[in-house]
A and B are shown apart, each in its own frame.
Chain A
């Protein structure tokens, strides 16, 4: 069956450290993978998109990698801040007109 798996346990890190979140998928061959941020009670907010032919994408303190062999994407936040505390969602397209989300990983950054 098709799955998108993110660590369901919350990730707790200290301010200033790098947070690394993982997204694994099975039985998909996505051409694109996206990462979103979701705050409690709010809609998801787009962060980054990475294509299958791109190994890495950066935007300010954010970095995403995409390994189509491992079927995995890693999402890094460097120099993390308490304001980065949120749930981060991985999403892929199965080449139809729908974007499928993982369960998300909650990140908590402590001062």
Chain B
């Protein structure tokens, strides 16, 4: 069964360092998303990406965040200068034609980011 894969599964970094989280969405999907979940809290939307551009972003997704689909298969989330409050589980998700409103959103297993 196709799945969304994410790397790394866990990353520890020092405050102020840049972090890149990587995702390989399901191959024929067109819509890509990043969500995050701080420990014990709800899953929060960060950004959606379609047709090689951001289609929607939340207030959390400030200038320190960026997304890219560099090679048609990987989908990356970059945090330029990490803060302590960026510590969370980051989930990548994708869905096919029609977007998530017509079907399910497939999530990866997450990348846990710990900022010290």
Contacts and interface: CB of A to CB of B under 8 A. Distances in A.
- Tell whether A and B belong to one assembly: yes
Interface of A: 31-32, 34, 38, 41-46, 49, 89, 93, 96-104
Given A43-B110, A46-B105, A89 B43 contact: yes
B45 interface: yes
B103 interface: yes
Interface string B39-82: 00111110010100001101000000000000000000000000
B107 A44 contact: yes
A32 B42 contact: no
Contacts of A101: 35, 42-45
Contact of A100 (B45, B55, B106): B45
Contacts of A34: 100, 104-105
Given A32-B101, A43-B91, A96-B56, A103 B41 contact: yes
A43 B109 contact: yes
B108 A98 contact: no
Interface in B82-116: 89, 91, 93, 99-101, 103-110
B109 to A, nearest CB: 5
Contacts of B109: 42-43
A93 B101 contact: yes
Closest 7 CB pairs of A and B: A46-B104, A43-B107, A97-B56, A101-B43, A97-B48, A97-B55, A103-B42
Given A44-B43, A44-B105, 11 more contacts: A32-B101, A42-B109, A42-B110, A44-B107, A46-B106, A49-B104, A93-B101, A98-B56, A101-B43, A101-B45, A102-B42
A32 B105 CA distance: 13
A41 B6 CA distance: 14
Nearest to B50: A97
Contacts of A45: 107
A83 to B, nearest CB: 19
A54 B105 CA distance: 20
A42 B4 CA distance: 12
